[in-house]
Structure 1
Amino acid sequence: MQAPRIIPADLTRGSFFDLLQDEDRSLSNIQVSEEDVSQQRIEHPMLDHVSFEKVRFTASRFERLDLTDSIFTNCDFSNGQFEKASWLRVEFKDCKLVGIDLNEAALNNVTFDHCQLDLAMLCDMRFKTVTFTNCRLNGTSFMNNRLASVKFNECDLDQVAFNDTALKNIDLSTCKFERLELDAAAARGMIVNSSQAAYLAAALIGIKVKP
């Protein structure tokens, strides 16, 4: 896992809306805090070497959002639409991403730490070296994805839909869920604990496991 190549203390304080003054819709080397960027519509914004804290992006639509070497702390992306995004070396800490739409995005070296991603749309995506730690993804759609070095550490995955996503070598043993949506082909090679294995045996092939 490669961390963002950024030192927040070296950044200049600024505003997200400085991006609107740039012809290329680009923003770099700034720190933004406690700003409301809700319900904005911007095509292909590009942010690199930025740090955002307590910024609200709720219900905004940024198609093809490029993020590089960026950190987001206590930010709210709820119901945002960010299809076809491209994120490289990005960290999300204590962020709210409920109902976010990231369909067809590509994530490389991205971490989600103590984030809420309930009901998120994470489909038709490419994940490379992505980690979810202590995150909640209840009801999230995680379908038709390509996964490489993806980790779920102590996450709540109840009712996540993993259809058409190969989970070989994906370790869910520290996570909790009552029900998952997946097929036997997708589950082949997935790593689970003994109680999860009993549930999956019953759900996928009808085997009943005695306690």
Structure 2
Amino acid sequence: MTIRRGAANRRPRPGPPRPPKMPAELRPASDLQRELEPEQTVEAAAYDDADLAGAPAEGVAFDRCGFRRTGFAGAHLAGVRFVDCVLESSDLSNLRAENARLERVRLSGCRATGLAANGALLSDVAFAGCKADLTNWRFARFDVVTFEDCNLAGADFTEADLRGASFTGCDLSGAQFHRATMAGARFRRCELAGIGGITSWEGAVVHPDDLLELSYVLAGALGIVVDAGGR
């Protein structure tokens, strides 16, 4: 089931995202915690160099956990919850995380090509230096979420609620925004070539440096021919 978007008058709390509430010390994840089971809850564990690739476990919850160089590639973790977690240099490529919940989470230097997080709810989440191209964020909701220096080329934000999202220095070329809710979403120094759904950008906040490229996208959507030669 996909998440219903918030009411039209919803106003996300001003950023920046609140940081994860991590414990002073994490215990290394046990063998049982590395063999994920459906509806399992893991608390205050460190997953350093762990291989969770391909794991099929619905409804897993990670509470105050740290992940460093952890492999989630190809795992199916529908309904997964990350609360007060830090992910560093981890591989989330092709992870299926439909209807995931992320609250107070920081991801840095992670690879997430092809991640499917449709219907997800993200609150106080920071992405920094992540490769997240071809990701699926359909129907997701972003409450105080920042993307900085991330590759989001070809990402799909169709019908996502982006009112609490901010993008800085990101590659969004070819990303799709059809029927997305954009009022208040912020874009600064982003690559916007070939984006889809430009007519959904009502209320978005765009830095002046991005306006020229955005104008070409808008012209194309309206069927305007730009004659660079002129006469």
| Length-normalised TM-score, structure 2 | 0.84
**Contact 1:15 1:32 survives alignment (8 Å):** no
Q: Does the C-alpha gap of structure 1 residues 56 and 23 become closer, same or farther in structure 2, counting only changes over 3 Å?
A: closer
**Residues 87-130 of structure 1: CA deviation (Å, up to 9, x unaligned):** 11011110011001101111111111100111111101111001
Tell me, yes or no, if the aligned pair for 2:52 and 2:71 is still in contact at 8 Å: yes
Larger RCO, structures 1/2 (Cα 8 Å, 6+ apart): 2
Match 2:217 to one of 167, 190, 200: 200
CA contact 1:112–1:133 (8 Å) conserved in 2: yes
Matched residue, 2:131: 116
> Any conservation in 2 of the 1:126–1:147 contact (CA below 8 Å)?
yes
User: Where does residue 22 of structure 2 map in the other structure?
Assistant: 6
Name the residue aligned to 1:167: 182
Whole-Å Cα distance in 1 between the matches of residues 75 and 36 of structure 2? 18
Describe the shift of the 1:207–1:83 C-alpha distance in structure 2 as closer, same or farther (beyond 3 A). same
**Distance in 2 (alpha carbons) for counterparts of 1:203 and 1:134:** 27
Q: Residues 23 and 154 of structure 1: is their aligned pair in 2 closer, same or farther, counting only changes over 3 Å?
A: closer
| Contact kept in structure 2, 1:16 and 1:32, CA below 8 Å | no
> Does the CA contact (< 8 Å) of 1:201 and 1:208 recur in 2?
no
User: What is the CA-CA distance between 1:133 and the residue it aligns to?
Assistant: 0.5
Matches within 5 A, 1:102-181: 102-181=117-196
Counterparts of 1:40 and 1:210, CA distance in 2:
53
Structure 2: gaps of 5 or more residues = 1-16
What letter matches 1:151 in structure 2? S
Cα offset, 1:39, TM superposition: 0.7
User: Which structure 1 residue ranges, 5 or more long, are not aligned?
Assistant: none
> Which residue identity is paired with 1:194?
L
Identity fraction in percent: 24
Q: What is the letter of the counterpart of residue 111 of structure 2?
A: K
- 1:188 is matched with which residue: 202, 205, 212? 202
- The Cα of 1:194 is off from its aligned counterpart by 3.0
Letter in 2 for 1:191: V
SS of residue paired to 1:72 = strand
Q: Which runs of 4+ in 1 moved over 6 A?
A: none
Answer yes or no: is the 8 Å Cα contact 2:198–2:217 preserved in 1.
no
Give 1:195 deviation, angstroms.
1.2
Q: Equivalents in 2 of 1:195, 1:133: separation in Å?
A: 21
What is the CA distance between 1:207 and its match in structure 2? 3.9
Normalising by structure 1, report the TM-score: 0.91
Q: 1:62 aligns with which of 63, 77, 80?
A: 77
Structure 2: distance between partners of 1:23 and 1:100: 20
Contact kept? 2:22, 2:64, Cα under 8 Å: yes
Structure with higher strand content: 1
Q: Aligned equivalents of 2:62 and 2:36: distance in 1?
A: 14
For residues 22 and 172 of structure 1, the distance between their equivalents in structure 2, rounded to whole angstroms, comes to 39
Q: 1:106 to 1:13 in 2, by over 3 A?
A: same
How many angstroms does 1:209 deviate by? 5.8
